[in-house]
Amino acid sequence: MIVDLKEYPAWLEEYCTLCAKEWSTEKDPLKLEQKIQNKVKRIQTNENDQLIVALGYIEDQTLIGFISLFHYDGDERRDLTPWYATMYVKEEYRGRGYSKKLHRAILEEAKRRGYHSVYLKSDLENYYEKFGATFMEVLKNGERLYQIKL
């Protein structure tokens, strides 16, 4: 089942932990843990101005993977919103179609919220195209910017 992780504190904390481990540049374990706890609190109290929604795929009471919709993703192209971000499936569950299910769910959620397109950035080539993404440009940091029309 796919759920809004904000409604499930245990999975929300796991989401924040996995995001930090996957994408954070913080190396100090104590500082990283503090960042995780701060992020959980900001999401629970609606103080996170970046996050629109984080969806998790749950199976047998286990968080398999997640995907998010952000108002912005980094400093480049703040003129575009919303951003399709943090697509993540735990390694032991990869190759089983979970990313496709999460992809469909976040696009449905974006459409339900009134958006007509979502944007994403990635250093992967020929991956998001299979999800219907259209290449727009190469960003200053070398990542590729894509648009998915809903």
pLDDT score for 89: 98
Nearest to 145 by CA among 32, 129, 59: 129
pLDDT score for 102: 97
Nearest to 54 by CA among 96, 24, 82: 82
Dump pLDDT digits (tens) for 50-97: 889 999 999 999 999 999 999 999 888 999 999 999 999 999 999 999
Q: Model-level pTM?
A: 0.88
Q: Are 121 and 74 in contact (CB under 8 A)?
A: yes
Helix, strand, coil shares, percent, the chain, to 5: 35, 30, 35
Cα gap 148→150, rounded to integer Å: 6
Dump pLDDT digits (tens) for 113-139: 999 999 999 998 888 898 899 999 999
pLDDT score for 140: 92
Which structure tokens are listed for 94?
């990869």
Does 3.40.630.30 match the CATH number of domain 2-149? yes
